[in-house]
Amino acid sequence: MSGTQNILEVSDLKVHFPIAGGGKVYAVDGISFALPPGVAFGLVGESGSGKTTAALACARLNDITAGTIRLNGQDITRIEGEALKAARRDVQVVFQDPYASLNPRERAGAIVRRPLDLLKVGTPAERAARVDELFALVGLRPDQKELFPHQFSGGQRQRIGVARALASRPRLIICDEPVSALDVAIQAQILNLLARLKQDLGLSYLFISHDLAVVQHLCDRIAVMYLGQIVETGSRRQIFTRPSHPYTHALISAVPSPHAIGGASSRIRLMGDPPSPISPPSGCRFAGRCAHAQDRCRQAAPPLADTGEGHAVACHRANDPEVVAAREALIRAAPSG
Partner 1 sequence: MTATSTTPASAPEAVSPGRQAWRMFRQNHSALFGLAIIALIVLASVFGPYVYTVPPREMVWMPLTPPGESEYLLGTDYLGRDLLAGLINGGRVTLTVGLSAAVLTVLIGITVGALAGFFGGRVDDVLMRITEFFQVLPNLLFAMVVVMLFSPSLLNIAVAIGVVSWTSTARLTRAEFMRLREMEFVKAERSIGAGNARLIWRVILPNAAPPLIVVAALSIGTAILFEAGLSFLGLSDPNATSWGRMIGDNRPYILDSSWGVTFPGLCIFLTVLAISLVGDGLNDAFNPKLRQR
- Which CB sits closer to partner 1, 113 or 249? 113
- Which CB sits closer to partner 1, 72 or 257? 72
Q: From the CB of 172, what's the least distance to partner 1, in Å? A: 12
- Which CB sits closer to partner 1, 59 or 330? 59
- Which CB sits closer to partner 1, 5 or 151? 151
Q: From the CB of 47, what's the least distance to partner 1, in Å? A: 16
Q: From the CB of 166, what's the least distance to partner 1, in Å? A: 11
Q: From the CB of 125, what's the least distance to partner 1, in Å? A: 20
* Phi and psi torsions of 48, nearest 5°: 90, 0
Q: From the CB of 246, what's the least distance to partner 1, in Å? A: 34
Distance CA 15, CA 329 (A): 37
Torsion of CA 191, 192, 195, 196, to 10 degrees: -150
| 185-194 CB contacts, 8 Å cutoff, 24+ apart | 186/153, 186/154, 186/155, 186/158, 187/214, 189/155, 190/155, 190/158, 190/159, 190/162, 191/217, 191/218, 193/138, 193/139, 193/159, 193/162, 194/162, 194/218
- Which residues on adjacent β-strands are paired with residue 71? 8, 74
- Other beta carbons within 10 angstroms of residue 181's beta carbon come to 18
Binding residues (CB under 8 A) for partner 1: these are: 56, 59, 61, 85, 88, 92-93, 95-97, 100-105, 107, 114-115, 118-119, 143-144, 146-148, 150-151, 161, 164, 167-168
Distance CA 91, CA 30 (A): 22
Q: From the CB of 132, what's the least distance to partner 1, in Å? A: 16
- Which CB sits closer to partner 1, 96 or 248? 96
Q: Which helix (H) or strand (E) holds 173?
A: strand 172-176
- Which CB sits closer to partner 1, 94 or 314? 94
